[in-house]
């Protein structure tokens, strides 16, 4: 982890992601960003994604409406907002502005989960070639962020992506089959993925079928 030495721009962010670095701040009010390159990296499998049974029931029940890239600024603001068990955030104002710029350039994307007209969950990240780097998610209703993750995986599969980076392995992500890989192995997968052609689909005619295929839990 190294202290920032030069101004970080959206273009520099994309170059950093291509080689496995990502920025974080120590707190919401921090003025300093750091580049992280963890020794072990969490990767969510696009093939072999595991859908927990309770979440499959939530998807079948259909309580939420899900969109893509309809409310990016609101999603990142919600991810940065205080929540129970997370009173501070690593998303400072500079990171927020950098990702808003990447979104306007077509490199950063969001998934939004709605309950009626209320935004109750979502996630965002950045796409480089065939790699998608998940940054953060939030939930204000049961399973809302998990539903967003399922929709993300379906879109990435349809869009030809090869890698979904989760940064760190957590108990929350482990239920989806997330694996923790050493840095060297991650960099090998990353190098292959970023040179592949892929497109993030806001909509796709096969989206519902792809989500339905993910609804059958393993085992």
Taking only the tens place, the pLDDT of each residue in 63-86 is: 899 999 999 999 999 999 877 666
Confidence of residue 219 (pLDDT cuts 50, 70, 90): very low
| Residue 32, Cβ density class (10 Å: 0-12 exposed, 13-18 middle, ≥19 buried) | exposed
Q: Look at residue 120 and give its three-state secondary structure.
A: strand
pLDDT digits (tens, 9 = 90+) for 98-133: 999 999 999 999 999 999 999 999 999 999 999 999
State the sign of the Cα–Cα–Cα–Cα dihedral 24, 26, 27, 33: negative
Domains and CATH numbers, the chain: 2-214 (3.40.630.70)
Number of helices (H), then strands (E), belonging to the chain: the values are 8, 10
Overall pTM surpassing 0.85 (yes/no): yes
């Amino acid at each position: 982890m190294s202290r920032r030495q030069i101004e970080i721009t959206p273009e520099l962010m994309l170059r950093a992601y291509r080689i496995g670095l990502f920025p974080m701040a120590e707190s919401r009010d921090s003025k300093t960003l750091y580049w992280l390159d963890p020794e072990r990296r969490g990767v969510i499998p696009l093939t072999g994604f595991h859908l927990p049974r309770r979440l499959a029931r939530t998807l079948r029940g259909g309580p939420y409406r899900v969109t893509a890239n309809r409310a990016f600024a609101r999603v990142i603001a919600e991810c940065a907002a205080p929540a129970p068990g997370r009173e501070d955030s690593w998303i400072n104002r500079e990171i927020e502005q950098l990702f808003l710029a990447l979104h306007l350039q077509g490199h950063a994307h969001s998934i939004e989960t709605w309950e009626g007209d209320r935004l109750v969950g979502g996630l965002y990240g950045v796409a480089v070639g065939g790699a998608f780097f998940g940054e953060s998610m939030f939930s204000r209703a049961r399973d809302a962020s998990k539903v967003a993750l399922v929709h993300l995986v379906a879109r990435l599969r349809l869009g030809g992506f090869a890698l979904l980076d989760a940064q760190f392995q957590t108990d929350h992500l482990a239920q989806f089959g997330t694996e923790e890989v050493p840095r060297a192995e991650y960099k090998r997968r990353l190098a292959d993925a970023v040179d592949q052609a892929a497109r993030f689909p806001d909509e796709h005619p096969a989206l519902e079928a792809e989500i339905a295929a993910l609804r059958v839990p393993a085992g």
